[in-house]
Structure 1
């Protein structure tokens, strides 16, 4: 099985915007499921629907040796790769920083280059991460959502994006290969939806159970699993 590679640009996002969605899917790792099988916790062969997951936390070339402090939680995070040595990736995830955050020219160019090479299957954003992606121009003409507190402001900041109206009452928006969630926890729900598509309901339900987590649908109602 080919690895499923997630790239996460590293900047001052809210920790849960990234850690929450990644934890939703991390427990479906084939190696972890095999470990459970060997311990007798799950049936043999359960790992066959799992994923070979790889996570790459990406930073600018001049900053790799410096931990990035996520100021809201006072948490230091160290990048695993730079824009120069990041391998081919399948997915991008943008966590949400302060609305005033400006993407660096180097990271902006890296993102657009990887998309132009057609290697990115899906781009995910959580909370204000949609405003980061909007800075690349990749959201122009696309439907998207963002933290509800910014829905009145972002049309002025990024008028080329088709921002969801508050009246739509959707927790995430899918437009082609771009998925945008309006918060950290709704980002987890969005990833739960993706996980069900990738691994099937049985494995996804097992993973949700290990987290004590009950995912909701796009309308905010609990899923019937």
Structure 2
């Protein structure tokens, strides 16, 4: 077995979970397959660093003495938004030597400052996508995916997305069963594919201020197979269809139809991952009506049909 060195870069003001999340994934893989990964951490001068939450992390060594890794992990945090010029120089010089260069959250800002994302597609935490695009116009920023891979460089969205990306790398190295075992061990609710949106419907949409609209949001989530046309939802909110559609968008940030689409897709995904129900039944209970309608929704949004999605993301032991 080829042992892969994982080097996590540490600096003051990093988000602790950006490091510990992926590291726990690789550590879990090492427990499953001893010798698979060698995990190292390094800071500029080898001194301990203080994270945004106040935790202190003690590195194994300095960046000057660190070996060229197979996987170089650059976390995010406030310290990545205005990175130390010495860190940027080190990443610019050493990053291209890594087999795979990975950023978590706003760690993409460090890669961009080093010029390593120029001409590439990348993502970061949703709250910083506009800023990254504005400060680094040569980078093609995609604000939607959980993570993006462009050649040997991978960038991921906020915080826990680093776990999703690390699981994808483990799956690439050790296979799907290993990645799913680690995900279950870490009690990760959903091992998300990279092209999945950063938000669930409930997170992407704001919670409506008025109770009738909040009730409609809950109703949609609890009854994805119901008649969820605007007229029906408006009647439930005791509003005219036009007033309802306008108010729903104003208070949640998306149209009723878009919200319904997201809820139904998430419901179908979870049934594919967590149950052995047939595609036809899932399509019906998720509100699609037919397997073909569900297939079109999956291909349009996730880039893969339901059967392939289940093959990739459902644990073999799930009943």
In structure 1, C-alpha distance between the alignment counterparts of 2:161 and 2:108, rounded to whole Å: 13
Matched, 1:143 2:121: yes
Distance 1:155 1:120 in 2: 25
Please give the TM-score of this superposition, normalised by the length of structure 2.
Answer: 0.58
Matches within 5 A, 1:27-38: 27-29=28-30, 32-33=31-32
1:155 shift after superposition: 1.5
Worse-matched range after superposition: 208-217 or 142-151? 208-217
> What residue number does 1:44 align with?
none
How far the C-alpha of 1:125 sits from its partner, in A, is 0.9
Is 1:224–2:314 an aligned residue pair?
yes
Any stretches of 5+ residues in structure 2 without a counterpart?
Answer: 198-268, 271-312
How many equivalent pairs are there? 199
Q: Which of 192, 208, 212 is residue 187 of structure 2 equivalent to?
A: 212
Match of 1:15 in 2: 16
TM-score by length of 1: 0.80
Confirm whether residue 198 of structure 1 aligns to residue 176 of structure 2: no
Paired with 2:107 and 2:23, the residues of 1 have a C-alpha distance of 15
Give the aligned partner of residue 50 of structure 2: 69
Distance 1:86 1:20, change over 3 A: same
Cα separation, partners in 2 of 1:181 and 1:123, compared to 1, 3 Å: same
**Which of 1 and 2 has greater Rg?**
2
Q: Counterparts of 2:113 and 2:182 in 1: how far apart (Å)?
A: 34
The Cα RMSD (Å) is 2.0
The structure that is strand-richer by fraction is 1
- CA distance, structure 2, for counterparts of residue 115 and residue 212 of structure 1: 32
The offset of 1:115, in angstroms, is 3.6
| SS of equivalent residue, structure 1 residue 134 | helix
Deviation track 1:88-129 (CA, whole Å, cap 9, x = no partner) reads 31111111112773333332232222245xx31111111111
Question: How does 1:106-125 map onto structure 2 within 5 Å?
Answer: 106-116=86-96, 119-125=97-103
Q: Which ranges in structure 1 are unaligned for 5 or more consecutive residues?
A: 34-46
Q: Name the structure 1 match of 2:162.
A: 187
Q: Which has the higher contact order (CA 8 A, sep 6+)?
A: 1
CA distance in 2 between counterparts of 1:198 and 1:2 reads 10
| In 2, Cα distance between equivalents of 1:149 and 1:120 | 28
1:86, distance to aligned residue in structure 2 (A): 0.9
1:153 aligns with 2:131: yes
Q: Which moved more, 1:73-82 or 1:96-105?
A: 96-105
